[in-house]
Amino acid sequence: MAELIKLCATGDVKEESPLQVSPEGYPQLSVWEFEGQYYVVDDMCTHGMAWMSDGYQEGEEIECPFHGGRFGLKTGEPTAFPCVVPIKNYPVTIDDGQVCITKE
Ligand code: FES
C-alpha cells in the first residue's frame, strides 16, 4: 500500500487561508481548501520566485502575489498570464482528519 505523508489537519486550512508545509524530500508545498475539498500544489510559482500561499484565492483559482498570474487548484493548469507552465498538483487523501499526499 502506498505510503501517505501527513501535511496538516483539515482544520488548519480554510478557503483564502492556505498553509505552507515542508515535508521532507519535497519542495515547499501549500495546502488549500475550496468547498470542502483540499488541494496541494508546489508553493513556488512557475513564473518566478514567489510563494503562492502569499497570494490570493478566488474560488478554485489561486493568484500569484508578484505578477497576478493564476492557476486552477484542481488541475494546476495556468489560467491567467504571465503563468504558462502548470504548477505541480498532488493528489490528496484525507486520513483521520489529516490532509495527506502519497509518497512518490
Ligand atoms: S512570479 Fe508568479 S506570476 Fe510572476
Residue ranges of alpha helices (H) inside 1-104 are none
Instruction: Give φ, ψ of 93 to 5 degrees.
Output: -120, 135
Residue to substitute in 66, 85, 87 for testing ligand 1 pocket (most ligand atoms within 8 angstroms of CB): 66
Query: Given this model, what pLDDT does residue 84 score?
Result: 98
- Residues 6 or more apart whose CB falls under 8 angstroms from that of 55 comprise 62, 63, 64, 65
Structural domains of the chain, count: 1
Ligand 1 atom 1 nearest Cα? 48
Q: Tens digit of pLDDT for each residue in 8-54?
A: 999 999 999 999 999 999 999 999 999 999 999 999 999 999 999 99
Query: Given this model, what pLDDT does residue 2 score?
Result: 83
For residue 68, which atom of ligand 1 is closest to its CA? Answer: 3
Range of the domain at 40: 4-102
Confidence of residue 104 (pLDDT cuts 50, 70, 90): confident
pTM, to two decimals: 0.96
Q: Which residues of 35-56 are buried (b: 16+ CB within 10 A; e: fewer)?
A: eeebbbbbbbbbbeebbbbebe
Which CATH number belongs to the domain containing residue 63 in this structure?
2.102.10.10
Ligand 1 lined by 65 (C-beta under 6 Å) = no
Q: Tens digit of pLDDT for each residue in 71-94?
A: 999 999 999 999 999 999 999 999
55 CA → ligand 1 middle, Å = 10
